[in-house]
Amino acid sequence: MTRPIRLGCIGLSTKGWASTHLVPPLLTSPLSSQYTLLAVCTTNPTSAEASAATYSTTDTSPVKAYHTSESIASDPDLDMIAVSIKTPHHVEAATKVISAGKDLFIEWPAGRGLKETKLLASLAKAQGIRTIVGLQARQSVLFRKVKRLIEAGEIGGVLSTSMTSRIYGPHGPWGPTVHKGGEYLLKRDNGATLLDIPGGHFFEAFTYILGPVDTVSATAVIQHASSQVVNPDGTPTGDVIPADAPSQVAVCGTLKSGAVMSLHWRAGLDTPASVRAATPLVWVIDGTKGSIRIESDDPAAALVEMHEPTQLWVNDEEVKVEDDGKTNEGRAWEEYLKGEGTGDYPDLEHAVQIKSIIDAIWRSADGGIRVSL
């Protein structure tokens, strides 16, 4: 019997993304027999100890607590380390893991900008380690269904595609207010903008289904030069943070297939995204023989890696997609187990491809030019 993958996690505390989405699938059957969580790391020793206590299931196999990337990376009992922390710290932590020869999971955006993602990809390749990146949108049951429909010729050749999505409000990121702890999202250089995060995850689904992008012409507008920091309940803290991350991004262009695309991400809107007119997500794909329409009324539907679209139409017929009870994160961990070259999961080399699209959009928006990939 193959030994379970011995996993450590940088950024796994008692709350946050890693605790609510990334790690839970590993703690239940069938993945709990394939992965073993042995260590956690947070920058605060008290937080690290609390997290270790939370995830220690038996007295005979307590989870170890670390508070530096170097210390967890040097643990000889670990095969793989997941890096799930804020984007500005991705490279610092991931390079420690790579240098130690451990396999790596790294959360998207896998570094600030294309340069840092390329650096991590080259270091991982030189070290000969396996990597998996937190671009989970391709694991969506609905998106996989759409991919099969298009490949089967259900709507003929793809001629064009358009999408509009919006960030939940009020108090969603990249708008006039920001929740305390999310201030770093307002600085473009931190690599966690509306384009980098929701945009990057969407392009993962987009290119998985429709193929590579060829050209882009983009507009990125900062409609809120500052953002008021609010508490979890929405009350102001009194702090106001300057912002240079856009709240509106629109992209037109073409695919390598010749199809035309038009995409628009919207943020900074006060209308609650639960209001139907707010249109959290609508994505239409038009072909020579028909159309596909993907829609969701989920307030956070723009985050396609986390939230499965709720409705799918092929021409005038609504298509129901069966829920298998799994999460996109769980499916990604399952695919990783199948091995390199066999499992259907994104690695750092693939992340560079998605980041290249994002980089081209930035160059187009900054220069007011059309950019070819």
pLDDT value for 170: 83
Q: In the chain, where does DSSP find H-type helix?
A: 17, 45-55, 69-73, 90-99, 113-127, 141-151, 200-210, 328-337, 348-367
Local confidence band at 323 (pLDDT 50, 70, 90 cut-offs): confident
Q: Please name the residues in contact with 118: beta carbons below 8 A apart, sequence gap of 6 or more.
A: 352, 355
pLDDT value for 58: 66
How large is the average pLDDT for residues 193-206?
Answer: 98
What percent of the chain shows pLDDT beyond 70?
A: 99
Q: Please name the residues in contact with 119: beta carbons below 8 A apart, sequence gap of 6 or more.
A: 91, 111
| 283/298 Cα distance (integer angstroms) | 14
pLDDT value for 324: 87
pLDDT value for 77: 96
| 319/22 Cα distance (integer angstroms) | 29
Q: What digits encode the pLDDT tens for the residues 240-281?
A: 999 999 999 999 999 999 999 999 999 998 777 677 778 899
Choose between 161 and 1: higher pLDDT: 161
How large is the average pLDDT for residues 322-349?
Answer: 95
pLDDT value for 277: 77
Question: Is residue 328's pLDDT more than 60?
Answer: yes
pLDDT, averaged across the chain: 95
pLDDT value for 276: 74
In DSSP terms, 161 is beta-bridged to 261, 285
pLDDT value for 290: 98
| 310/54 Cα distance (integer angstroms) | 34
Q: What digits encode the pLDDT tens for the residues 74-121?
A: 999 999 999 999 999 999 999 999 999 999 999 999 999 999 999 999
Q: What digits encode the pLDDT tens for the residues 129-157?
A: 999 999 999 999 999 999 999 999 999 99
Local confidence band at 215 (pLDDT 50, 70, 90 cut-offs): very high
Strands 158-166 vs 281-287: parallel, antiparallel or unpaired: antiparallel
How large is the average pLDDT for residues 166-183?
Answer: 91
In order of start, what are the domains of the chain with their CATH numbers? 5-136 (3.40.50.720), 138-316+347-372 (3.30.360.10)
Measuring CA to CA, how many Å separate 85 from each of 22, 39, 65, 89, 108? 12, 15, 16, 7, 10
Local confidence band at 35 (pLDDT 50, 70, 90 cut-offs): very high
What percent of the chain shows pLDDT beyond 90?
A: 88
pLDDT value for 171: 87
Q: In 132-266, where does DSSP find H-type helix?
A: 141-151, 200-210
What is the model's pTM?
Answer: 0.96
Structure tokens at 72: 């967890």
The total number of residues shown for the chain amounts to 373
- Helix-strand-coil percent breakdown of the chain, rounded to 5? 35, 25, 40
Residue 311 half-sphere exposure toward CB, CA atoms < 13 A: 16
Question: Is residue 57's pLDDT more than 80?
Answer: no
pLDDT value for 304: 96
- Taking the alpha carbons at both ends of the chain, their separation in whole angstroms is 45
